[in-house]
Amino acid sequence: MKELVLVTGGTGYIGSHTVVELIESGYEVVIVDNLSNSEASVLDGIERITGTRPALEICDCTDFNQMHAVFEKYGSIRAAIHFAASKAVGESVEKPLMYYRNNLVSLINILELLKEFKSKGFVFSSSCTVYGQPEVLPVTETAAIQPAMSPYGNTKQIGEEIIRDATHAGLPYASIILRYFNPIGAHPSAEIGELPLGVPQNLVPFVTQTAAGIREQLSVFGDDYNTPDGSCIRDYIHVVDLAKAHVIAMQRLLENKSAEAVETFNLGTGNGLSVLDILKTFEKVTGKKLNYKIVGRRAGDIEQVWADPTIANDVLGWKATSTVEETLASAWKWQQKLSAK
Ligand code: NAD
Ligand code: WQD
């Protein structure tokens, strides 16, 4: 019988790609999403790729009673991957209480319900934002956690602490914390991808929208950093590679293979690319000329960060395999599909 996995935030960007990989690896999936930052039509794309339409429960993870009813309805939820969260850094500065409530109450509810329903494991979406500007690059999982730069970032740090404290106090299942670097791109089929609401805050959706003529000009936030070309450096990872790591983490939990009750892994490529590298590669891969200008630095930006993914490579047996060319091509294919709608 197929094992049933709960995916909160499963109609969102990373969640939807993970649902595809879970289904293709033989899991049964139930998604919980309140559609605050996604659309139910994402299920159509998932179904076109996999031939399976996962169950969707439209409900809010902060509502314990609603979530309890979902666990009761499905009975045999074996484990959960918890993507559901608000993620806009700027908005979190404006609405910190909303962010703390949404991201932390959701987390606490899921942890309690997994315990009550005797599930076997929990996977948490964390972020490289917990490292701030690391002193040593590439950054390893043992690097110091820096004071958070935003309430959003703080919810990831506190979320990790909640998981560790609750585990220490005797949670009857293991957890895996995954620290994502910068997920970009879309499924190669262009059936699913990122759906930014309003003006995108992240680099790649802004790039693709500029290339598509939706935005007139792209701003490069600073060329006076202490990096080879002066622009900031990040570790951009294909969302499908990222999604595959979740399936491996899930298998590890369900097969009781965790070495510790809470394990933490960096999910990145191990390569740092600058903003200007991304723009040049995008132009080369797509043949589109980008209208961009260099402007001042964006407040709160980290100068450079990229992952040391050795532990994920060695322990999980997972490696990001897509090239940045393939990844940017997938982002562009998805944008063209969106623009044609
Ligand atoms: P997303 O906004 O596309 O997906 C999140 C989903 O959660 C959305 O579908 C939204 O409707 C849903 N949701 C939010 N609050 C909810 C609630 N209370 N109840 C039910 N559903 C709720 O975001 P994403 O980029 O796919 O991110 C997924 C996770 O990964 C988040 O936890 C995010 O913080 C984390 N993360 C994202 C990035 C990134 O750059 N995208 C980087 C690091 C970590
Ligand atoms: C990447 C680079 C910008 C837009 C954010 C969150 C972080 C994490 C990942 C969730 C930076 C530059 C951007 C633009 C630009 N999310 N840029 N022009 O800042 O690494 O991280 O997403 O956990 O918490 O803060 O990603 O895509 O916003 O920016 O020059 O129009 O692109 O300055 O150097 P970032 P990003």
262-294 confidence digits (pLDDT tens): 999 999 999 999 999 999 999 999 999 999 999
At 324 the pLDDT is 98
The tokens of 306 are what? 């990229």
How does the average pLDDT of the chain come out, rounded? 97
Task: State the pLDDT at residue 232.
Answer: 98
pLDDT the model gives residue 234: 98
The DSSP secondary-structure symbol of 137 reads S
Return d(Cα 26, Cα 281) in angstroms, integer.
35
**151 prior amide bond cis, ω within 30:** no
220 ligand 2 Cβ < 6 A = yes
Residue 135 shares a structural domain with residue 221: no
| Pair 133, 252 in one domain | yes
Judge contact between 49 and 192, C-beta under 8 A: yes
Number of domains within the chain: 2
pTM of the model: 0.99
**Are 88 and 106 in a shared domain?**
yes
Buried b (16+ CB within 10 A) or exposed e, 305-315: bbbbbebbeee
User: Is 43's C-beta closer than 6 angstroms to any atom of ligand 1?
Assistant: no
CATH code (residue 85)? 3.40.50.720
Residues 142 and 283 in one domain: no
Band of residue 1 on the pLDDT scale cut at 50, 70, 90: confident
Which helix H or strand E contains 127, and what residues bound it? Answer: strand 121-127
Best residue among 11, 19, 31, 33 to mutate for probing ligand 1's pocket (most ligand atoms within 8 Å of CB) is: 33
Q: Does 182 sit in the ligand 2 pocket, CB within 6 Å?
A: yes
pLDDT tens, residue by residue, 29-60? 999 999 999 999 999 999 999 999 999 999 99
Check whether residue 81 and residue 119 sit in a common domain. yes
Output the domain CATH number for residue 327.
Answer: 3.90.25.10
Domain, as residue range, for 50: 4-185+236-267
Tell me the sheet residues that pair with 69: none
Do 68 and 146 sit in the same domain of this protein? yes
Interval 245-261: pLDDT, tens: 999 999 999 999 999 99
The CA 307 to ligand 1 mean position distance, Å, reads: 21
What is the model's pLDDT at position 51? 98
Omega before 138 within 30 of 0, i.e. cis: yes
3-class DSSP assignment, residue 70: helix
| Mean pLDDT of the 176-196 span | 97
Residue found by looking up tokens 């509810």 in the block? 109
Instruction: Report the nearest-CA residue for atom 5 of ligand 2.
Output: 202
Please tell me whether residues 46 and 132 are part of one structural domain.
Answer: yes
**Shared-domain flag, residues 126 and 152:** yes
Q: Please report whether residue 240 resides in a domain.
A: yes
Indicate which atom in ligand 1 lies nearest the CA of residue 183. Answer: 40
For the Cβ of 203 lying below 6 angstroms from any atom of ligand 2, the answer is yes
pLDDT over 90 (residue 125): yes
303 and 178 in a common domain = no
Q: Please write the tens of the pLDDT for every residue from 199-209.
A: 999 999 999 99
Cβ-count burial 214-223 (b if 16+ within 10 Å, e if not): ebeebebbbb
Strands 233-234 and 55-58 turn out to be unpaired
> Residues 124-138: what's their mean pLDDT?
97
Confidence tier at 197 by pLDDT (50, 70, 90) = confident
Q: In the structure encoding, which two tokens stand for residue 275, read together?
A: 């903003």
Residue percentage of the chain with pLDDT more than 90 = 98
Q: Is the CB of 108 under 6 A from ligand 1?
A: no
Q: Decide whether any atom of ligand 1 lies within 6 Å of the 150 Cβ.
A: no
Catalytic positions are 152
Q: pLDDT at position 81, please?
A: 99
Counting from 1 in the atom list of ligand 1, the atom nearest the Cα of 37 is 11
Ligand 1 binding pocket includes 318 (Cβ within 6 Å): no
pLDDT for res 70: 98
Residues 100 and 162 in one domain: yes
* Among protein residues, the one whose CA lies closest to atom 14 of ligand 2: 203
What is the whole-number distance in angstroms between the Cα of residue 210 and the centre of ligand 1? 24
The protein residue whose alpha carbon is closest to atom 3 in ligand 2 is: 221
The answer to whether residues 40 and 161 belong to one domain is: yes
pLDDT at 153: 97
Ligand nearest to the CA of 268: 1
Residue whose CA lies nearest to ligand 2 atom number 10: 127
Q: For residue range 318-335, what is the model confidence (pLDDT) as tens digits? A: 999 999 999 999 999 999
Inside any domain, residue 191? no
User: pLDDT by residue (tens digit) across 205-233?
Assistant: 999 999 999 999 999 999 999 999 999 99
Nearest-Å Rg of the Cα atoms of the chain is 19
Contact 4, 180 (CB under 8 A): no
Q: Could you give the angle at which helices 151-168 and 106-116 cross, rounded to 10 degrees?
A: 20
CA 267 to chain CA centroid, Å, is: 10
pLDDT of residue 85: 98
Cα–Cα distance measured from residue 166 to residue 151, given in angstroms and rounded to the nearest whole number: 22
